Structure 1
Amino acid sequence: MSAASLPSSLLPAMRTILHSGLHLIMTVGLILVVLAVVVNITRKAPIKQPR
């Protein structure tokens, strides 16, 4: 399926939905990466048990 086979009246709305969805996915990904970095920086190393 290509853009030429879709109704031209729906293309602007579909493009808006696609772009907002991509922005949401990228924002959630960025939040997860920042959260992972914060957790890794603030996490204390486990205490090693003497053998």
Structure 2
Amino acid sequence: MRRRRQKNDRRDAQHLLDLLTQGEFPTVWRPSPQEREQRILIRHLVRLVRQRTR
């Protein structure tokens, strides 16, 4: 069985710095303005359908 290392902020910060300097830091996906607008419309449609089918 593998032993986990105890959490350590200094070690975590160094790991994040290493990832960043090596260009391997994970990116965050953000929806485009068009995708956000589509989500809003779909959310509204779902709400209307739920109200109508109660």
Higher helix share: 1
Give the TM-score category using the shorter length: 0.3 to 0.5
Provide TM-score, normalisation by structure 1: 0.45
Provide TM-score, normalisation by structure 2: 0.42
